[in-house]
Amino acid sequence: MDNTLRKNEEINDQKIKLVLEDGEMHGEISSFDAFSLSSEKGLDLIEVCPSNNGDLAICKLMNYGKMKYDREKKCKKMHKEVTKIMKFHLNISDHDLDIKNRKVLEFLSKRKKVQYMLELRGGEKRMIDAAKEKMEFNLEGFRDKATWKEVIVKDNKSGILVLLNPI
């Protein structure tokens, strides 16, 4: 993403629209004058909106290193917030369920939230009590690794859902 941003000497347009560091619009200015102004203030000249269809490029005075750091931090935070989803059905074999549960434990050990979902299909929707029992039995295996508030039954009884938060 930062590869598309031009900064300082890389901006080779004759004229640009300049936004000052406080967000105030300075107006049209030659790129040479804008670069010398950025040098005086000890900041970088960053192209935030490239020129297209005859419009002038919009450039802003800012600290490039700080902007890059903030973007990376925001990206990492967004990546951390990802919730993993683990789905299974009522008639899953014990071995397959063990493998899924091991994967859930792996996600929890990596501090990821897990949406643990038992899906019900067709006639299984009438066996909601058996599904709740199976879900509660499975959740006992996560008692020491995760917390959860409640077991949620979907409106159309198509499944049971629990959001597991790592401890």
Express each pLDDT in 10-22 by its tens digit.
Answer: 888 888 899 988 8
Residue 138 CB neighbours (<10 A): 18
Q: Is 137 exposed, middle or buried (0-12, 13-18, 19+ CB in 10 A)?
A: exposed
Q: Which residues pair with 18 in a beta bridge?
A: 27, 59
CA dihedral 167, 164, 134, 91 (to 10 degrees): -130
Q: With a threshold of 0.85, does the pTM exceed it?
A: no
Q: Is the pLDDT of residue 48 over 80?
A: yes
Q: Which residues pair with 50 in a beta bridge?
A: none
* 54-66 mean pLDDT: 87
Kind and range of the H or E run holding 114: strand 113-119
- What pLDDT, in 10s, does the model give residues 76-134? 777 666 789 999 999 999 999 999 999 999 999 988 899 999 999 888 888 888 888 99
Residue written as token pair 């590869």: 3
pLDDT in the model for residue 106: 93
Domains in the chain and their CATH numbers? Answer: 2-74 (3.10.20.80), 82-166 (3.30.110.10)
